[in-house]
């Protein structure tokens, strides 16, 4: 049987990570994998998370099964956080998932079960796993424009493309801190998206993975809440990997919003059934940690303060990089980078430039030009700026 297996494609991100690990140069810089790192280069456990873990350990709660929906207290806490305490009560159900990717897949399976062959629209460029997950669930994929030629958000292009999405289509939107570009719509653009969704009848599918790391938690969640208030149906995939630092605990949530109580019950059961065939039920630890943090006013305030500090460090890295690029004679590129948000930025470099950046400067980003600003040590900003300017100056010469 195994002899019949054709060579599968290699995951591009983890392939680059392996290449980084094999690089003997001590000055090498890893900006590939999307994890937050502090000024020392470490990925810390948040203090609020650590305290929640200590409390859970002291309680010595049972390890028995939670059920197909996972931790129901976690699900309630996530609905309240994402949609707001005064959000669309009674219009939403949620199930715990294996991180954000698991939520994407469960919701993709729900779409396919409801309308086989549905077309899902994703941004161009998109998060690297969006297309594979949607296609693995049996869905067709089309793209809509996201950036213009200067690297800024292309509002006119996006709206023109999505005007072609039909009533049976689903539009996958990143709720904030777009991966890979760091480019987000303005509030007026989100209003136009909501209006278009209502008029054309397509279903928004919001992917939330970086809320709290752009403009602050409530500001980052505002587009999702706006859509929830205006559209009759919506899907939401939520990850706790980045803003709680629970990367390896694989904690996430899938949400469905609708207008019919019966339809929501059916949707919840369909999600449970999909989970049963994929992994049965999600792991408990991360969900218990998040629930402990969100249900305790003191821990919740501490978590928000830590999240704000992380956001501030990311913004400071981006500002410093833009300033250094300006000093090196690259003000146009600096201006575009300065307007981006969240963990990632898209460099104005070609795949050839990115290869040169690795070869000459030992700086690792994706082939498409994405770098993890959140993984950049402050004392390496000048090194990165010199590398970017160096490959651009070489191309210009």
Let me know if domain 49-295 sits in CATH 3.40.640.10.
Answer: yes
> What is the average per-residue pLDDT within 128-143?
96
* Cα separations in angstroms, 312 against 66, 139, 215, 294: 37, 38, 9, 22
- Helices within the chain (DSSP H only): 12-22, 47-59, 72-83, 99-114, 130-136, 155-162, 187-200, 217-230, 261-278, 285-295, 297-327, 331-338, 351-361, 381-396
User: CATH 3.40.640.10 residue ranges in the chain?
Assistant: 49-295
pLDDT per residue as tens digits for the range 343-376: 999 998 999 999 999 999 999 999 999 999 999 9
User: Exposed, middle or buried, 80 (CB in 10 Å: 0-12/13-18/19+)?
Assistant: middle
Contact 127, 114 (CB under 8 A): no
pLDDT per residue as tens digits for the range 6-32: 888 878 788 888 889 999 999 999 999
Q: How far is CA 393 from the centre of its chain?
A: 33
pLDDT band per the 50, 70, 90 thresholds, residue 395: low
Q: Please state, in angstroms and rounded to a whole number, the distance separating the CA atoms of residues 124 and 237.
A: 19
Q: Please state, in angstroms and rounded to a whole number, the distance separating the CA atoms of residues 123 and 102.
A: 20
User: How do strand 92-98 and strand 251-257 relate by DSSP bridges?
Assistant: antiparallel
Q: Coil, strand, or helix at residue 33?
A: coil
pLDDT per residue as tens digits for the range 104-113: 999 999 999 9
Residue 258: left if φ>0, alpha if ψ -120 to 50, beta else—which one? beta
pLDDT per residue as tens digits for the range 251-291: 999 999 999 999 999 999 999 999 999 999 999 999 999 99
> For residue 350, what pLDDT is reported?
92
User: CATH 3.90.1150.10 residue ranges in the chain?
Assistant: 10-44+312-396
CA dihedral 141, 342, 213, 108 (to 10 degrees): 10
Could you tell me the two tokens for 143?
A: 């793209």
* Cα separations in angstroms, 282 against 108, 128, 218, 334: 17, 23, 27, 42
Range of lowest pLDDT (56-70, 175-189, 293-307): 56-70
Range of lowest pLDDT (43-47, 61-65, 233-237, 321-325): 61-65
> 10-44+312-396 architecture in CATH?
Alpha-Beta Complex (3.90)
Mean pLDDT score across all residues of the chain: 94
> For residue 89, what pLDDT is reported?
67
pLDDT band per the 50, 70, 90 thresholds, residue 397: very low
* Cα separations in angstroms, 344 against 32, 43, 323: 10, 16, 17
pLDDT per residue as tens digits for the range 197-225: 999 999 999 999 999 999 999 999 999 99
């Amino acid at each position: 049987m195994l002899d019949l297996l054709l060579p599968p494609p290699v995951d591009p991100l983890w392939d680059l990570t392996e290449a980084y690990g094999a690089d003997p140069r001590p000055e090498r810089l890893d900006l590939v994998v999307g994890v937050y790192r502090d000024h020392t280069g470490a990925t810390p456990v948040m203090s609020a998370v650590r305290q929640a873990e200590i409390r859970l350990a002291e309680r010595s709660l049972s390890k028995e099964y939670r059920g197909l929906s996972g931790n129901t207290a976690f699900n309630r806490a996530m609905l309240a956080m994402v949609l707001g305490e005064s959000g669309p009560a009674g219009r939403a159900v949620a199930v715990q998932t294996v991180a954000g990717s698991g939520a994407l897949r469960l919701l993709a399976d729900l779409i396919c079960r409801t309308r086989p062959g549905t077309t899902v629209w994703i941004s161009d460029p998109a998060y690297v796993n969006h297309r594979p997950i949607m296609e693995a669930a049996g869905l067709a994929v089309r793209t809509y424009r996201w950036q213009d030629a200067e690297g800024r958000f292309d509002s006119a292009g996006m709206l023109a493309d999505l005007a072609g999405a039909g009533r049976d289509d689903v539009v996958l939107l990143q709720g904030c801190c777009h991966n890979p570009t760091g480019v987000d719509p303005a509030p007026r653009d989100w209003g136009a998206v909501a209006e278009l969704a209502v008029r054309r009848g397509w279903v928004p599918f919001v992917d939330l993975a970086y809320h709290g790391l752009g403009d602050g938690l409530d500001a980052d969640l505002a587009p999702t809440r706006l859509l929830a208030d205006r559209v009759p149906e919506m899907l939401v995939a939520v990850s706790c990997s980045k803003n709680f630092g629970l990367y390896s605990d694989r904690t996430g949530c899938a949400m469905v919003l609708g207008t019919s109580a019966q339809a929501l019950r059916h949707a919840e059961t369909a999600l449970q059934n999909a989970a049963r065939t994929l992994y049965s039920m999600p792991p408990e630890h991360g969900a218990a940690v998040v629930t402990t943090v969100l249900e305790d006013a003191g821990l919740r305030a501490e978590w928000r303060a830590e999240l704000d500090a992380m956001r501030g460090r990311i913004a400071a890295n981006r500002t410093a990089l833009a300033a250094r690029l300006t000093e090196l004679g690259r003000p146009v590129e600096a201006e575009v980078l300065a307007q981006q948000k969240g963990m990632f930025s898209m460099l104005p470099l070609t795949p050839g430039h990115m290869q040169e950046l690795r070869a000459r400067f030992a700086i690792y980003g994706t082939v498409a030009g994405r770098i993890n600003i959140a993984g950049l040590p402050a004392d390496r900003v000048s090194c990165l700026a010199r590398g970017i300017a160096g490959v651009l100056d070489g191309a210009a010469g």
